[in-house]
Amino acid sequence: MTASPPFERAIGIDRYVSETPGIDGVLRNEPADFAVRERSVRELEPLDADPGDYPALVFRATLTNRDTNGFASELANRLGISRERITWAGTKDKRAVTTQRFSIRNFQRDSLPSVAGAEIELLGRAGRPVLFGDHNGNEFSIIVREATENARELCEQTTTELASFADRTPPTIGVANVFGPQRFGTIRPVTHEVGLAIVRGNFEQAVLTYLGNPSPTEPPATRRAREYVDETHDWAGALDRFPSHLGYERAIAQRLLETDATGSERFETALTAVPSNLQALFVHAAQSYLFNQLCSRRLEAGLPFDRPVAGDVVCFTDDHGRPDPDHTQRVTKARVKTITRHCERGRAFVTAPLVGTETELGEKTPGDIERAVLDDEGLTPGSFDGTGQFGSTGTRRPILLQTAVSIDAVDDDPTALSFEFSLPNGAYATVVLREYMKVPAADLA
């Protein structure tokens, strides 16, 4: 199998599944080239339902070239409410056109202000807000431009390879269900490094990694501010130097100046200056990095992704046909054939852990791989026993990502191809596209 570019190896993705040369190309030539639409699963009450019984206002927003957090923050400011009251099912890419559901907790009004770059449609009311994972996947329509002349032929070869990996018939393909670069930061991939420092209990290192640690791809003023942090640990000076758009960095520096806490508690308190979903993301990114490594080592070991081996842990489907990480079973040698049939019928999925305090590791070869990855990072499941958003009980995630892919020409651009496919919750479109394009990870951002 072909080795991944250095950026991907730094986030735990060591190789491609396919060996066919890539089509190159560029993504997001304009936001409309990357369109994402969320599939919803919840029924709603009418807009005129009693807010006392249904206190959450639910709306759909189509965002153009806007990140989810930024939109929520601006809307909250316009409404004069806490950003924490606005929730959504899944965070989407910024440079794209994304359509998804949001809700506002304990909101009695039946109108919303306009927000630049957003089309807002009120949908109804609900007894509880939209929560993370409250959707049934996403539909993607993506244009790759400036592809090679023989791109169609290469795509057909890649599709055949990826179908074989999943033991499926084209156009259904399978790839490793790793976390894409967006999870870690595409310009400065340090989110997982912050998270790893947190779960190791080194909050000072977590803060220094987030505030300092400059990237050569950042603007000069940002680089200078981060270099100043690395050299001085002077938080007042850092606050003066951080550009205004680095709101989270400025908030952490301000909290360091204001808090009376000392030692490790001071730095842990400073990290709570960012929104709770970002606090959780630090730890989630650490879990994602470990998961990527587990998938890479499974590939290296030649273990299948579409069917289990003895020692694996599989999960089964829920009422919506989605993988249910709360319904798992360890695979014994005697059960391999039976569980394989469930996997072939789409009723079960081989998993790897997003490690947390309640993680039960696999056995035999899969378990050996899981323990080796944790040992290399100096971690155990108990390392995730943090407070608040800095801890996690863990879960499990399927290691195989399957979808049917439609690839067509684009009428007005002979160098472009259109990719259409659907993915389950938490899966990354770029993980599919990287197998076809084989470009540096920054070009997938």
Give catalytic residues, as residue numbers: 93
The two three-digit tokens of residue 27, written as one number: 């993504």
- Report the DSSP beta bridge partners of residue 397: 352
CA distance 301 to 41: 38
Say if strands 395-398 and 348-354 run parallel, antiparallel, or are unpaired. Answer: antiparallel
Nearest-angstrom CA–CA distance, 327 and 346: 14
Going from the C-alpha of 323 to that of each of 344, 345, 374, 419, the distances in angstroms are: 14, 13, 25, 25
Please choose, from the candidates 152, 174, 79, 175, the residue with its C-alpha nearest in 3D space to the C-alpha of residue 120.
79
Q: CA–CA separation, 373 vs 378, rounded Å?
A: 9
Taking a C-beta distance cutoff of 8 angstroms, is the pair 392, 427 a contact? no
